[in-house]
A and B are shown apart, each in its own frame.
Chain A
Amino acid sequence: MKRLTHLPTLKIDTSKKISVYYRSKTHTGWYGDTIATLLYADGIRVFGRSLKYHRPRGLYSLDGECSNTMMAVDGRPNVRAETTMAADGMHIAAQNVQGTSEKPVESTPEKDWMGFMDHLSWAMPAGFYYRIFHKPEKLWPIAVSRIRKAAGVGVLTSGYTVKGRYDEIYPATDVCVVGGGPAGMEAALSAADKGLRVILMESRPWLGGFYDYRTSLDADGVPLYRKANAMAERIAGYPNIRVFKNAPVVGVYGNSMVTAFQRGGRDRPFEQRYIEIQTRSIVVAAGCIERPLLFENNERPGVMQMGCAHRLARTWGILPGRRAVFSIGHDLGLEAAIDLADLGMKVVHVADVREDGQDQRLLDELKKRDIPFSRGWTAIKAGGKRNIEKVTIGTVNGMRRREFSCDTLAASAGLTPVTGPLATAGAKLEYHHLTGFFLPVKLPDNVYAAGRLLGLNDPASVEASGRLNGLRAAAACGVRVDSELKAAEAETSVLPGPVRNSKMVTAPVKNQKMFICFDEDTTVKNVDQAMDRGFDVPELIKRFTAAGTGPGQGGVPGHNLPLYVAQRGDSPDVDPRPITVRPPLTPVLLATYAGRNHDMHKRTPVHESQSASDGRMDRAGVWLRARYFSDDRRSRREIENVRGNVGVLDASTLGKFRIFGNDALKALQRVYIGDMNRVREHRMTYAAMCNDDGCLIDDGVIVKQAENDYYFTTSTGRSGATIEWIRYHTRYENLDFHMVNLTDAFGVINLAGPNSRNVLQKIADVDISNEAFPFMGYREFTINDIIPVRAMRLGFVGELSYELHVPSSYMQAVWDLLEKAGKSFKIKKFGLEAQNTLRLEKCHVIIGSESEQRTTLCDLGLGFLWCKSKPEANTVGSVALRQTENQSGRLKLVGFKMKNGLERPPKDGSPIVDSRIRGYVCTARFSFTLNEPIGMALVEDSYAKPGSVFGIYENGCKGRLIRAEVVKTPFYDPTGERMKS
């Protein structure tokens, strides 16, 4: 088709060609074409088949208000061809088409063998699947599978994965303006003039709204499209206005949040991105869409909205057809007819449902061009099998009719406001008799409505309304604008207000197919059937007939359904009531909500060297840590090396803190269950924190560095919450102390095994013999004269071992020095799994493995950490510990070994049962040191004594319980000689 390339309103770049594949053919268009306009320009009229009846569907609107032009693009179903920009090399396929070809890509919506479904519509009255297929029950699965095959939209091929990058941004602003038409742009400008930050949201790829494609003149004789361009240019000059184009709003929440998504693709670094805007005030200037006219075959390809026909020509340079009939109810339709006639289309007839109220100048223009015009006439029927070939129009009372042959019918009943953003914000909407719109009667604080959605039509009124509400939004942000507000109010009061709109819904047609909802194939007859069954409010009729529940989100039936129900209802004095609108106002891809979904984790200072030497990195809380250093999931060699020689572990993830200040000791006394007065210098104290229920939440070691200055460690999982915890429990006292989270500032190396002293002595600058640096000692010294190290002798794995706290930047250096020094001893790295088994042999608990949220300090056998002489009410956990200390029926931590010579441990988490569940296995491993399986379990106190035998239920054990016996703990080195020597 030859396209109009000279128009000043075009949004395509005719110097850049774009080719897509559809039906085994290459179709070529230009940069700026949507998939729909590209195909339409190449003669495609039928874009797909409808949900139930497999009726042919074509281009109807251009903003994705119905599913007519949803297509599969590069394997992704349900892509909206109207709002998706065409890109080179796209593979496009029609949907819900049962072709004769094997390849779905080659089935054509022009020939769909399921098309006969249209003749079976009598068998599918409203709600037929609810009413028919459930008796007998056996019928239901068969019906479901049949219906699923016949009906539907796009099909997702199994194994399909979404490609592309999905992003998210969270901007904050003072004023958020929804809608980039003339009112929205004016609102943005007037708020930005006050120095406020403004975000302007527009769902189309350009600003301009109802102005951007129109050449008619405003009061000053300026063409509207030029006015739109000038305003957009002004906006671009404001550094404090951020514009998001191609970004439909999803919802407005409270009066301070607007969510939206932005379409990317083509030349943007994202496919779609989620936008969440924090704002202080909101102006909704979302404008209007068209209200469909209901007549027989009102969705036949070739029937389109008046704006769709007009914009096809003006924005994309495509004449919708050769001969057109117009059946409209708004002056915009007259304007479109005149403009399209001037651009070379034969306009056969213009029927206007309104008896009066037309702009006389437009009528004169029609007359000048000899275009026949009739008042009070409407389209009655569209004829033609796949594309319309003829149209019957008639008087709205049904008395007279005429038929015209044509290939295009521009039809709409009028306009309807886009009130979704207001409705989701919580505005109350009521039927307005003059405009026939649902208009806001009560707006939430800081939310304002402006422009055409208020029923305004005159360009000057629309712009002034934008300015006025931009000022109101600025005032809501605390800007003084009293005099300007007064002036703006005075300005709007003398301009034309809301105008009367056509209220016509259905042509005078009975018992024929008039579609009130295209997506769900809901006809007016279906609505009648629902009302005959007693449904009387649109909300219920919507659910029974499915009208408005499709992908278009009520864009087509949203206004017509309540109007029709009110018109047909028994009590004519009841005003139409709007259907509840919910987010998403425009459907969003789930991939967009998933976002980048990148794995956010922390790496220890020696991460690279760990993973480079075969470390299998696993997620541990927020960290990545080395779990194994070989394929052996039991880490036998790592374990045996620690027990018999020397191993080295990266424990940098430990929480590390400094607390100091006049009240530091007081704060520690509050949160630690032990007596912090006893914490000394040069010596580590093992200490625990409980919550107010006496349950263990953290354990670690603490050392005094000076008066009211302490260094302490927490478990890995608690490091993020420790400062919050201590501050929370001292929040009323206004204590004088400071805390520094040193977790990332220091790395930790755990050097463990009988040879660890020999290795460390080689690089330490001081004597570290057992006398100079005994068990539980704390020393600060240097390595290689320069690297400062905080060293602790601890015994988590049950051997002679040193914990070296090293500044992060020196970690790799110290690690390398240790490995070098240990080479002659055959030092070996060990991972988390080895550590887990090693500490299990010593029965050292890991919070979260051996404890859960009900487990108190005493349940774990750690009651010795609790200082009973401290004031109970002032120590977090003390009161509850006292109360639960001797409570019976609690789960207690025990060690167990297997009975009957079983040589493997049960799975972690397996329940312990007799007649009922008595506890569960916490951790169980095969101990290479003891050459038998061992484990720890939380069991009811009646089973907790050494010698008790219990049964363990394992997945797949078929009722044969594994027997285990409670033994004395720890399993390994009960006197602790090995740690202390």
Chain B
Amino acid sequence: MSRTITCPVCGRRNGYEFRFGGEDKGPRPEEEGMSPEKWFEYTHLNDCKAGIRKEWWFHRDGCGVWFTIFRDTASNREVVRPPERELEAVP
């Protein structure tokens, strides 16, 4: 894989060593006001937008840590953390 991912413990490594853990959707929803729709949205729906996204990755063949990185889904490259407003501006 030409993609590399930077693990907070092990540094920049071959993308094959990692497992994708989905978009960063925040913590589990609160017990209060839970509805089937809300639950479905949290567990199954993704934004799937082209551009810079914050994602969870797991260093499976390494230190075994879950962490987030920023990835440009259009170029499939890891990128440095962009300024907040740029993140917001992703269409």
Is the pair A883, B31 in contact by a Cβ cutoff of 8 Å? Answer: no
Contact with B along A929-961 (1 / 0, CB 8 A): 000000000000000000000000000000000
Is the pair A872, B3 in contact by a Cβ cutoff of 8 Å? Answer: no
Whether, in the assembled complex, B14 has its beta carbon less than 8 Å from a beta carbon of chain A, the answer is: yes
Interface of B, secondary structure class, is loop
Query: Known interface pairs A257-B2, A693-B43, A728-B58. Does A873 touch B64 (Cβ–Cβ under 8 Å)?
Result: no
Contact with B along A868-879 (1 / 0, CB 8 A): 000111100001
Contact with B along A856-898 (1 / 0, CB 8 A): 0000000000000001111000011001000000000000000
Contact with B along A224-246 (1 / 0, CB 8 A): 00000000000000000000000
- Pick the residue among A170, A693, A724 that contacts B64 (CB under 8 A): A724
Whether, in the assembled complex, A723 has its beta carbon less than 8 Å from a beta carbon of chain B, the answer is: yes
Whether, in the assembled complex, A621 has its beta carbon less than 8 Å from a beta carbon of chain B, the answer is: no
Cβ-closest chain B residue relative to A731: B66
Query: Known interface pairs A692-B43, A728-B21, A873-B31. Does A256 touch B2 (Cβ–Cβ under 8 Å)?
Result: yes
Q: How far is the CA of A727 from the CA of B57 in the complex (A)?
A: 12
Which residues of A are found within 8 Å of B64, using beta-carbon distances? 723-724, 727
Instruction: Find the residue from B4, B28, B29, B56 having the highest chain A CB count within 10 A.
Output: B28
Q: How far is the CB of A104 from chain B (nearest CB, A)?
A: 43
Is the pair B60, A873 in contact by a Cβ cutoff of 8 Å? Answer: no
- Pick the residue among B27, B28, B39, B66 that contacts A727 (CB under 8 A): B66
Which residues of B are found within 8 Å of A976, using beta-carbon distances? none
Interface residues of B in 1-28 (CB under 8 A from A): 1-4, 14, 19, 21, 26-28
Which residues of A are found within 8 Å of B81, using beta-carbon distances? none
Which residues of B are found within 8 Å of A172, using beta-carbon distances? 14
Which residues of B are found within 8 Å of A874, using beta-carbon distances? 28, 31
Contact with A along B46-63 (1 / 0, CB 8 A): 000000000010101000
Whether, in the assembled complex, B30 has its beta carbon less than 8 Å from a beta carbon of chain A, the answer is: yes
Is the pair A724, B77 in contact by a Cβ cutoff of 8 Å? Answer: no
Is the pair A873, B34 in contact by a Cβ cutoff of 8 Å? Answer: yes
Is the pair B36, A883 in contact by a Cβ cutoff of 8 Å? Answer: yes
Q: How far is the CA of A732 from the CA of B29 in the complex (A)?
A: 12
Cβ-closest chain A residue relative to B66: A731
Query: Known interface pairs A727-B64, A879-B39. Does A278 touch B4 (Cβ–Cβ under 8 Å)?
Result: yes
Q: How far is the CA of A732 from the CA of B30 in the complex (A)?
A: 13
Interface residues of A in 671-729 (CB under 8 A from B): 692-693, 723-724, 727-728
Interface of A, secondary structure class, is mixed
- Pick the residue among A254, A693, A723, A872 that contacts B34 (CB under 8 A): A872
Q: How far is the CA of A918 from the CA of B31 in the complex (A)?
A: 36
Which residues of A are found within 8 Å of B27, using beta-carbon distances? 732-733
Q: How far is the CA of A255 from the CA of B78 in the complex (A)?
A: 12
Query: Known interface pairs A724-B58, A728-B58. Does A278 touch B14 (Cβ–Cβ under 8 Å)?
Result: yes
Which residues of B are found within 8 Å of A278, using beta-carbon distances? 4, 14
Is the pair B77, A254 in contact by a Cβ cutoff of 8 Å? Answer: yes
Which residues of A are found within 8 Å of B66, using beta-carbon distances? 724, 727-728, 731
Whether, in the assembled complex, A253 has its beta carbon less than 8 Å from a beta carbon of chain B, the answer is: yes
Is the pair B31, A871 in contact by a Cβ cutoff of 8 Å? Answer: yes
Query: Known interface pairs A253-B2, A278-B14, A883-B36. Does A724 touch B26 (Cβ–Cβ under 8 Å)?
Result: no
Q: How far is the CB of A606 from chain B (nearest CB, A)?
A: 28
Which residues of A are found within 8 Å of B29, using beta-carbon distances? 873
Q: How far is the CA of A186 from the CA of B79 in the complex (A)?
A: 32
Tally of chain A residues near chain B (CB < 8 A): 24
Q: How far is the CB of B31 from chain A (nearest CB, A)?
A: 4
Is the pair A257, B34 in contact by a Cβ cutoff of 8 Å? Answer: no
- Pick the residue among B14, B21, B26, B76 that contacts A170 (CB under 8 A): B14
Cβ-closest chain A residue relative to B59: A724
Q: How far is the CB of B23 from chain A (nearest CB, A)?
A: 13
Query: Known interface pairs A170-B14, A732-B27. Does A724 touch B43 (Cβ–Cβ under 8 Å)?
Result: no
Query: Known interface pairs A170-B14, A724-B60, A728-B58. Does A879 touch B34 (Cβ–Cβ under 8 Å)?
Result: yes
Q: How far is the CA of A883 from the CA of B58 in the complex (A)?
A: 30
Q: How far is the CB of A176 from chain B (nearest CB, A)?
A: 12
Query: Known interface pairs A692-B43, A872-B31. Does A731 touch B56 (Cβ–Cβ under 8 Å)?
Result: yes
Q: How far is the CA of A873 from the CA of B26 in the complex (A)?
A: 14
Which residues of A are found within 8 Å of B26, using beta-carbon distances? 732
Cβ-closest chain B residue relative to A444: B75
Is the pair B14, A724 in contact by a Cβ cutoff of 8 Å? Answer: no
Q: How far is the CA of A724 from the CA of B59 in the complex (A)?
A: 9
Which residues of A are found within 8 Å of B30, using beta-carbon distances? 873
Cβ-closest chain A residue relative to B65: A727
Cβ-closest chain A residue relative to B28: A873
Q: How far is the CB of A426 from chain B (nearest CB, A)?
A: 10
Cβ-closest chain A residue relative to B67: A731
Is the pair B19, A724 in contact by a Cβ cutoff of 8 Å? Answer: yes
Q: How far is the CA of A335 from the CA of B16 in the complex (A)?
A: 50
Which residues of B are found within 8 Å of A723, using beta-carbon distances? 64
Q: How far is the CA of A872 from the CA of B26 in the complex (A)?
A: 17
Is the pair A257, B31 in contact by a Cβ cutoff of 8 Å? Answer: no
Which residues of B are found within 8 Å of A253, using beta-carbon distances? 2
Q: How far is the CA of A693 from the CA of B2 in the complex (A)?
A: 34
Is the pair B39, A880 in contact by a Cβ cutoff of 8 Å? Answer: yes
Which residues of A are found within 8 Å of B14, using beta-carbon distances? 170, 172, 278
Q: How far is the CB of A87 from chain B (nearest CB, A)?
A: 35
Q: How far is the CA of A515 from the CA of B13 in the complex (A)?
A: 48
Q: How far is the CA of A732 from the CA of B2 in the complex (A)?
A: 29
Q: How far is the CB of B13 from chain A (nearest CB, A)?
A: 9
Which residues of A are found within 8 Å of B2, using beta-carbon distances? 253-257
Cβ-closest chain A residue relative to B4: A256
Which residues of B are found within 8 Å of A883, using beta-carbon distances? 36, 39
Q: How far is the CA of A162 from the CA of B43 in the complex (A)?
A: 48
Q: How far is the CA of A569 from the CA of B77 in the complex (A)?
A: 41
Which residues of B are found within 8 Å of A872, using beta-carbon distances? 31, 34
Could you give 18 example pairs across A and B, Cβ below 8 Å? A170-B14, A172-B14, A253-B2, A254-B2, A257-B1, A693-B43, A724-B19, A724-B60, A727-B58, A727-B64, A727-B65, A731-B21, A731-B56, A732-B27, A873-B30, A873-B31, A874-B28, A879-B34
| A-B residue pairs, 5 tightest by C-beta | A254-B2, A257-B2, A253-B2, A732-B27, A873-B31
Given contacts A255-B2, A724-B64, A883-B36, 14 further A-B contacts (CB under 8 A): A253-B2, A254-B76, A257-B1, A257-B2, A692-B43, A727-B58, A728-B56, A731-B56, A732-B27, A873-B28, A873-B29, A873-B34, A874-B28, A880-B43
